[in-house]
Chain A
Amino acid sequence: MAINVNLDMMLVKRKMSLTELSERMNITMTNLSILKTGKARAIRFSTLEALCRELQCQPGDLLEYTSAPSENN
Chain B
Amino acid sequence: MFTLLKKRPVRKVRQMLDAALFGGAAFMLLTLIFIASHSAGYSERFPDTHWPVKLMFKGFSHIPLTQVDIHQPAGSQMYIEAQPSSVYLSVVRERKNGILLGFELAWLILTVGTFFFIVYLLRKIFIPMDSNEFFDQKTPARLRMLGWVIIVTSLARSLVTYCYGLYASSLVNNIPEAARAVIPDPVGRPVTPFIEPVVDIAPFTLFFGLVMFALAIAFQKGLDLKHEQSLTV
Contacts and interface: CB of A to CB of B under 8 A. Distances in A.
Interface of A: 27, 31-32, 34-35, 39-44, 47
22 contacts: A27-B233, A31-B233, A32-B233, A34-B231, A34-B233, A35-B233, A39-B231, A40-B231, A40-B232, A40-B233, A41-B228, A41-B231, A41-B232, A42-B228, A42-B231, A42-B232, A42-B233, A43-B232, A43-B233, A44-B232, A44-B233, A47-B233
Contacts, number: 22
B132 to A, nearest CB: 19
A31 B231 CA distance: 8
A57 B174 CA distance: 94
Nearest to A27: B233
Interface in B124-144: none
A28 to B, nearest CB: 9
Interface of B: 228, 231-233
B184 to A, nearest CB: 77
A73 B82 CA distance: 68
A44 B233 CA distance: 6
A35 B232 CA distance: 9
Contacts of A40: 231-233
A35 B233 CA distance: 7
Nearest to A43: B233
Nearest to B231: A41
